Structure 1
Amino acid sequence: MLRFGIIGCGTIADFHIEAIRGLGGATAAVTAISSRNASKAQAVAERLGCAWTADYMELLAREDVDIVCVTTSSGSHYRIGCDALAAGKHLVIEKPVAMRAHEALALCRLAAERSLTLSVISQRRFEPLHREVKRILAEGKLGKLLLAEVEVPFFRSQSYYDSAPWRGTIAEDGGALMNQGIHSIDLLLWLAGEARTVYGRTVTATHAMEAEDLGVALVQFKNGALGTMMASTSINPGFPAGIRLYGSEGTIKLAGSDIVHWSVPGYEAPPAFGSAPAYGGVSDPRSISHLYHQLQLQNVIEAIASGSPPEVTGEDGFRAVQLIEAVYESSATGKEIAIEPHSIL
């Protein structure tokens, strides 16, 4: 059994708590909770029957914590992640793994140096439909990949951004690409491969905030395919995130958890995954299932037990942040930006 400590008691922590509880007490348990808000930490801990503290360094010093989930605001992920790894804890960080690419790379290197497992939450990789599409691509059933597109046409009200002083800030939250869009951008890189260059534009169109609420980009992948990505929190009333894959032999179009079009030679469209929770988060970030967090945490536990990398590594998190950071640089300079390879070791 792995013993979890959770740092942060906001909305996203609830998904981690329910995911860990769903794994069963013989596999995993929450043994400690930390939050700067002492009363919130105490309330959650009393509900779970575990220890609590308002100082996360006290949680990291506990011998009954093997792995830490960081569910704090995005701008604190790097600092807390470094402290957790330095304390010898395996680490799961909510997206993004860090706000800057060099910070994400530093986390990956620290984990490697200490032989600790680092994973960033990219739970959409564990949705059955996405795993089926990944298999189809790996088997070459679409032929040569020509174009891969992702879009995240979400809506967030001004009151959402006004609900906390860090929301919508570049340093602590990020905009539509770094916050809402990063799951789809991770899927884009997972399905289409590593990016070579990107040209992008970002604007703050409809909200009073620092970061962007609309970003678009054109990507060239190392395999020669082209890609597009769009993320926004200004699209009213909000629509499911979409993925479109165009190959020389066929096409797949997805919207949320639904198939919009499927023409794959020799492969019928898979039946609806009846047991899979419906896609959510279009206009309410709380309207998602914890099931895919649970599946990812299960994979992390298995990776720790076997000494193998998890399906979603810290390096995967780095690549997504690196691509988004390059979009910001492109928008600021008006130039196409090369995506430089980096070695973790």
Structure 2
Amino acid sequence: MRDWGFGIIGCGSIAGFHRAAIHSLDNARLVGVASRSGARAKAFALESGHCECWSDYQQLLEHPGIDIVCVTTESGSHFQVGQQVLLAGKHAIIEKPLAMKAEEARRLTGLAADRGLSLSVVSQRRFEPQVAAVKRTVDAGKLGRLLYIEAGTPYYRTQQYYDQSEWRGTLDMDGGVLMNQGIHQIDLMLWMAGPVSSVYGQVATLSHRMEAEDTGTAIVRFVNGAIGTVMASTSMKPGFPPYLHLFGEKGSVKLRGSSIVQWSVEGEPSPSPVFEGSLETDGSSNPLDISPMHHKRQFEALLQALDQGNDPPVSGGEGALAVELIEAIYASYASGKEIALLSTSYTRGDTHAD
């Protein structure tokens, strides 16, 4: 097991979760950070201990001691920055979403594959113990063929949340609730049930002054024949835990936040609850009110995959699927029609674009 040097581009609030994950691993070290604001980069570096800092991220990419780069900039810059990371020969782990457009996500995936580099997107909810237990149950066929899936994100965000930065709530740099908050549950839905063949969606801006949507919903048809629904909102005051409901031929499971609230699986006892800290948090009303443990687990799994020469957890191909589905929801709303998805040939875990 080798030691891995990390760099972080973007020193906003989510970067702190990446730093905590890196510091928690014995075979990882934070070498340097970069931010457009030199003062912010310097302050973040001082808080991080012994690491370098730059106001130009190209200098970070030239550092020979950095093997993996975390991209924690605004969502709208993920493609541009991620592309530069891969062109510099570094492995990339990009905060969700992988990119703002499916075509950009596929280009990143293809570039990583061509250069033999690891590309992954942060989807830390996969690493919650209860979520992982449900995934194992689905993969083992204990629910039988999935028939119906519900994925929901009934969150609340104040107007102040969107007003704190000019890019928040914009279509190009932030996206709406589907791309920003709902993408976590969308990823879990795709992870459990596989790719979607078609979608019919509606979006609206109901309670905020912002360019993008604060509420979205969709009916999806999966390649395997199952039907599902997606809802996401930042208007559901005071904010409620996200949920994922899976109904199969042999049984059903309901996840609410990090907890299993319904377990109807014949012959299989419900997994024991796992409590990490004094309070399980879900980010339903505060985006920073989440456990740092799950970022740690994803980073740990990433390094293990790199050591073993395997594909990373939450690969670029999987990240592209989530972006493609959200893009199709927007296209359906704009056209008033059901939209067929293009990349149904992606497989879960695939790192290559079509």
TM-score by length of 2: 0.95
2:132 is equivalent to residue 131 of structure 1: yes
8 Å contact kept, 2:131–2:255: no
- Across the aligned residues of Structure 1 and Structure 2, the Cα RMSD in angstroms comes to 1.1
- Structure 2 matches for 1:238-253, cutoff 5 A? 238-253=239-254
Question: Matches of 2:212 and 2:302 in 1, distance apart?
Answer: 32
Question: Matches of 1:291 and 1:107 in 2, distance apart?
Answer: 27
Question: Matches of 2:310 and 2:269 in 1, distance apart?
Answer: 34
| 2:289 corresponds to which of 287, 290, 308 | 287
TM-score by length of 1: 0.97
Uncovered stretches (5+) of structure 1, i.e. residues with no partner? none
SS for the counterpart of 1:188 is: helix
Question: Matches of 2:265 and 2:62 in 1, distance apart?
Answer: 52
Q: Deviations over 1:268-310 (max 9, x none)?
A: 2111113477132110001111111111111111111211101
SS for the counterpart of 1:181 is: helix
SS for the counterpart of 2:284 is: coil
1:59 counterpart residue number: 60
Opposite residue 305 of structure 2, the aligned amino acid is A
8 Å contact kept, 2:150–2:246: yes
8 Å contact kept, 2:128–2:294: yes
Q: Deviations over 1:92-150 (max 9, x none)?
A: 00000000000000000000010000000011001111111111111111122110111
- The count of residues paired between Structure 1 and Structure 2 equals 343
Question: Matches of 1:327 and 1:226 in 2, distance apart?
Answer: 15
1:308 counterpart residue number: 310
2:6 counterpart residue number: 4
Opposite residue 183 of structure 2, the aligned amino acid is I
- Structure 2 matches for 1:1-345, cutoff 5 A? 1-24=3-26, 27-47=27-47, 48-275=49-276, 278-341=280-343, 344=353
| Identical counterparts, % of pairs | 50
Question: Matches of 1:63 and 1:332 in 2, distance apart?
Answer: 47
Opposite residue 130 of structure 2, the aligned amino acid is L
Question: Matches of 2:126 and 2:226 in 1, distance apart?
Answer: 21
Opposite residue 157 of structure 2, the aligned amino acid is R
Question: 1:46 Cα deviation (Å)?
Answer: 2.1
Say which is worse superposed, 8-17 or 295-304, in terms of deviation.
295-304
Question: 1:80 Cα deviation (Å)?
Answer: 0.3
Question: Matches of 2:306 and 2:258 in 1, distance apart?
Answer: 30
SS for the counterpart of 1:166 is: coil
Opposite residue 17 of structure 2, the aligned amino acid is F
Question: 1:204 Cα deviation (Å)?
Answer: 0.5
Question: Matches of 2:280 and 2:31 in 1, distance apart?
Answer: 31
Question: Matches of 1:13 and 1:291 in 2, distance apart?
Answer: 14
Question: Matches of 1:18 and 1:282 in 2, distance apart?
Answer: 21
